Structure 1
């Protein structure tokens, strides 16, 4: 966690100097992938993006030393043989560049054991069970650490693969400020009310998530400088909403300025930044979140383990939201045959928006349970 904490402190100190900067500079880095093309998720994605931005890496593709070494061999009946080209000539050796330092990523694996028979089953099978069936099993999580590197000689040793990786990591064309589209599936989720809770677009200056009503209120799209600002700020509130008891059960009514408040705000900011970057958008620090940069720094300096909880929450939060976005995107691909009813039931029967709402993190009122989190437009 030491490297992660140092990176986060450096990032927040940089943002504190100019909070109008985005969490990740546009075009500076793209969501990190491994050599198989799979994106890293949650906390790993966040930290690898920070490291790539810090080091100025152009292609955010990472691999373990074993995975990079394995690129030099092919499997045969007799074991393995050196990789060759079409003419049978041995290909140049792929290796990590001299002096490049690895960076740690984390993977949590789960062992699921039947409490009576001691039989082990795959974690995916366990997740498909009902709560009654799951009660017969005990889950043992194990956090594993892997070191990955990004700077290799692939460009010289495997030029075709390098061009492929470069194309995958290409930066989306910048949108014009007048462009009011962000990402099709994200726009669909917000405008068609397909998130886990209702999203009300209300003309005004406030953006917040209400714990008591389980709803999000956001200013109208036209009030933002562009759709990326609208979408990224909505994703911040969506991140708060994942903490509801019926979802990730992370939120607890807390007083303005408390440690719980600080942690939740940082979780929502980082989650929104990761998701925005994954879909080619920028996420600026929210005006009101900027005021807590100093508080976040204090927490990181005094209690480095504070970040461990935040990163764990970011991982779960981003996973839940991106799964919903991807499910909507898959449905959109069906065109006229698309059916969004699977996303609707959770939003039906909800009380219409009222000005009297409880927010996830906010200024203390006469009733400490009633909290409101304000948004000031103009990014």
Structure 2
């Protein structure tokens, strides 16, 4: 283990990315107006990053790994992953105010908390309207129980804004266990019932009716990284097939630039960004900072505050499906 007695604050350089088909105690809070305000808050935060030229789902992970809770070691997922990744903190670890205190630490004066959101669920008796404790659900006829979900929010602090803790980090290594090509190919070959993959022509696309990905020949790409970056984008689309996750943006025909088309593109962008990071191929060739690309998503997000969190959740489910991991 690598030990650091005390972290020092430093300003991280902002890493820019670039498309195809206030102080808080860290406790959980919910806006008086409900989940709707949380959707708007997270949308505004991502819009702010896009306006700065930072594309969250194009950001490379820290050499120590993806953003995680320092105490529980659990990585953040969904929209939380992309928001924290876009901040460029010195270390990819975070704690709530309460967690920092439990470890004997103290949040620095003036430290800026970051919001994290998660889903909570309420169960009610359809006849009486009374709330049913989750551990009592098994005693009810499920036909008589209603379930509703709502977003809640709590705050975390990057650990460089916390003092008094002897941080312990795992040793980092830039050496991959597998050559990049093999590691990248395993994402496709180890997927359960992957779509057919063929190479022909000069365009990359996924056909739902054939459950088939078409890719140009590898020698038409400028790099191996570029080839797999495009393949992962199409592979994400394939998870929407009716036999898999059955997303409406894939399972039903969509017009270019329609609402569901835009949603599906954002899902594929986020999911491909995750797989790029996982295999270590997110290099400068993939980080094109396109003004037109950024403006497109700024317009989309400003028009629909539910787009971002919904797409991030679906992208996470798609990635978990490809990697055979339990759903978020």
Q: Is the alpha carbon distance of 1:2 and 1:204 closer, same or farther for their aligned partners in structure 2, counting shifts above 3 Å?
A: same
Q: What is the Cα deviation at residue 259 of structure 1?
A: 3.2
TM-score (norm. length: structure 1): 0.60
Asked whether the equivalents of residues 197 and 216 of structure 1 are also in contact (C-alpha less than 8 Å), the reply is no
- For residue 31 of structure 1, what is the aligned residue in structure 2? 66
- For residue 366 of structure 1, what is the aligned residue in structure 2? none
Q: What is the Cα deviation at residue 148 of structure 1?
A: 0.8
Q: What is the Cα deviation at residue 66 of structure 1?
A: 1.3
1:223-258 CA-partner distances (Å, limit 9, x unpaired): 444443333322211222233344142314222223
Q: What is the Cα deviation at residue 312 of structure 1?
A: 1.8
- For residue 147 of structure 1, what is the aligned residue in structure 2? 155
Pick aligned residue for 1:60 from 85, 92, 96: 92
Q: Say which SS state the counterpart of residue 37 (structure 1) adopts.
A: coil
2:231 counterpart of 1:234: yes
Q: Is the alpha carbon distance of 1:200 and 1:163 closer, same or farther for their aligned partners in structure 2, counting shifts above 3 Å?
A: same
Asked whether the equivalents of residues 113 and 157 of structure 2 are also in contact (C-alpha less than 8 Å), the reply is yes
2:9 counterpart of 1:9: no
Q: How many residues align?
A: 278
Pick aligned residue for 1:163 from 165, 168, 178: 168
1:72-126 CA-partner distances (Å, limit 9, x unpaired): 3xxxxxxxxxxxxxxxxxxxxx11222220111111022445757986556998x
- For residue 266 of structure 1, what is the aligned residue in structure 2? 266
Asked whether the equivalents of residues 57 and 269 of structure 2 are also in contact (C-alpha less than 8 Å), the reply is no
Q: What is the Cα deviation at residue 292 of structure 1?
A: 4.2
- What CA distance in whole angstroms lies between the structure 1 residues aligned with 2:234 and 2:269? 9
Asked whether the equivalents of residues 269 and 285 of structure 1 are also in contact (C-alpha less than 8 Å), the reply is no
Q: Is the alpha carbon distance of 1:116 and 1:66 closer, same or farther for their aligned partners in structure 2, counting shifts above 3 Å?
A: same
Pairing 1:38-57 to 2, within 5 Å after superposition: 38-51=74-87, 53=88, 57=89
- What CA distance in whole angstroms lies between the structure 2 residues aligned with 1:325 and 1:44? 20
Q: Say which SS state the counterpart of residue 181 (structure 1) adopts.
A: helix
Q: Is the alpha carbon distance of 1:291 and 1:220 closer, same or farther for their aligned partners in structure 2, counting shifts above 3 Å?
A: farther
Asked whether the equivalents of residues 205 and 215 of structure 2 are also in contact (C-alpha less than 8 Å), the reply is yes
User: Alpha carbon RMSD of aligned pairs, Å?
Assistant: 3.9
Please, which runs of 5 or more residues in structure 2 have no aligned partner?
Answer: 1-38
- What CA distance in whole angstroms lies between the structure 2 residues aligned with 1:271 and 1:122? 34
Pairing 1:274-289 to 2, within 5 Å after superposition: 274-282=274-282
Pairing 1:301-316 to 2, within 5 Å after superposition: 301=302, 303=303, 305=305, 308-316=306-314
- What CA distance in whole angstroms lies between the structure 2 residues aligned with 1:122 and 1:97? 39
Q: Which moved more, 1:199-208 or 1:139-148?
A: 199-208
- For residue 31 of structure 2, what is the aligned residue in structure 1? none
- For residue 100 of structure 1, what is the aligned residue in structure 2? 111
2:209 counterpart of 1:205: no
Q: What is the Cα deviation at residue 320 of structure 1?
A: 3.5
Pairing 1:345-356 to 2, within 5 Å after superposition: none
- For residue 332 of structure 1, what is the aligned residue in structure 2? none
Q: Is the alpha carbon distance of 1:8 and 1:143 closer, same or farther for their aligned partners in structure 2, counting shifts above 3 Å?
A: closer
Q: What is the Cα deviation at residue 268 of structure 1?
A: 1.4
Q: Is the alpha carbon distance of 1:114 and 1:209 closer, same or farther for their aligned partners in structure 2, counting shifts above 3 Å?
A: farther
- What CA distance in whole angstroms lies between the structure 1 residues aligned with 2:228 and 2:48? 26
Asked whether the equivalents of residues 190 and 199 of structure 1 are also in contact (C-alpha less than 8 Å), the reply is no
- What CA distance in whole angstroms lies between the structure 1 residues aligned with 2:63 and 2:49? 14
Q: Is the alpha carbon distance of 1:210 and 1:26 closer, same or farther for their aligned partners in structure 2, counting shifts above 3 Å?
A: same
